[in-house]
Amino acid sequence: MIDNKIKTLLTLVNVGSYTKAARHLALTQPAVSHHIKLLEQEYGIKIFYSDKKKLIPTPEGEILIKYSRRAIALEENAIKAIEDNRKQVKSLVIGITPTAEENLVPYVFASYCNEHPKIHINIVTNTINNIYDMLKAYELDLAIIEGRITDDRFTSILLDTDYLCLAVSPKHKFAKRKSVNLLELKKENFILRQPNAGTRKLFENHLISHSENINNFNVIMELDNVSLIKDLVSSNLGITVISHKSCRDEIAAGKLVVVPIENLIMTREINMIYPKDFHHKDILDDIRMAYNLKN
């Protein structure tokens, strides 16, 4: 059982104030303050800076908060595992990056669950950085990501390779071109993923390798919603660099056109990442096989 003081700390961090935390926990504000003081005495640290208007954790406070989140996640996992054992089912929480979500991954999992009624899958979509943090905190069982995570604590299996492409509306002046160059692209309006997205980072890295920088391009909008990016580009409101597999349907339907960028080949990977102590490795083999069949 997790100490209630730890639950108070995490609630306080999540809501941002003692008043809101007290309301959320059905406690008095002095009781919330008392819990924090007891934690500070127990660990011999100061959890928050006292002279700040906002709740800003100290370096030691950040460490306690990080491990408190892990402890909560482990307790929730234990409770869920016990419940699953009683029901004779297996539950998995799987993190997926937004571009991977636009790929075949959800269809593969849905098909797998239909074929295996005792498997329940909860899909969480987030950026690669947040997914990495969730894996470390045991909030995820495994992840399907665009790109890589280099960490000895995790095993990585290559599921697929893809590439980034320049996508434009059929109405755009580039639509009938055989190729375009980077100089021409500097004059265009880009609609891209957020800077922390895997595809965005890959695009920027390739620009750097060509002595270019994303700041030299006119990025008018940044979104985490891949479907919305495709809709906006299809409406000729900008152009984008996107995973080719995530826009295959739009290309086939004539809603988007792919135009090669001269001397720029942007290969990307789809990887399955899981902790080395993952207990259902038979499921991983089935998922990989199902993905390959769908692909």
- Say if 181 falls within a structural domain: yes
Q: Measuring CA to CA, how many Å separate 293 from each of 160, 269, 288?
A: 12, 18, 9
Question: Does 116 share its domain with 68?
Answer: no
Q: How many domains does the chain have?
A: 3
- Say if 77 falls within a structural domain: no
CATH number at residue 290: 3.40.190.10
- Say if 78 falls within a structural domain: no
Query: pLDDT (tens digit, 9 = 90+) per residue, 13-67?
Result: 889 888 898 898 888 988 889 999 999 899 999 999 887 678 899 999 999 998 8
Q: Kindly report each contact of residues 78-81 with a partner whose C-beta sits within 8 Å and lies 24 or more positions away, as own/partner.
A: none
Question: Does 168 share its domain with 183?
Answer: yes
Query: What's the rounded Cα separation, in Å, for the pair 140 and 201?
Result: 23
* Residue 252 pLDDT exceeds 90: yes
Over residues 201-227, mean pLDDT:
92
Query: pLDDT (tens digit, 9 = 90+) per residue, 99-134?
Result: 665 556 777 888 888 887 888 888 888 888 888 888
Mark which of 72, 98, 120 sits at the end of a domain: 72
Burial class (CB in 10 A: 0-12, 13-18, 19+), 158: exposed
Angle at which helices 4-15 and 18-25 cross, to 10°? 130
Question: Does 193 share its domain with 154?
Answer: no
- Say if 190 falls within a structural domain: yes
Which structural domain range is residue 41 located in?
4-72
Question: Does 260 share its domain with 289?
Answer: no
Band the pLDDT of 170: cuts 50, 70, 90: very high
Question: Does 174 share its domain with 247?
Answer: yes
Q: Where are the beta strands (DSSP E) in 50-129?
A: 90-96, 119-125
Q: Measuring CA to CA, how many Å separate 36 from each of 28, 29, 79, 135, 160?
A: 13, 11, 26, 27, 47
Using the Cα atoms of residue 171, residue 175, residue 177 and residue 182 in order, give the sign of their dihedral. Answer: positive
CATH number at residue 55: 1.10.10.10
- Say if 121 falls within a structural domain: yes
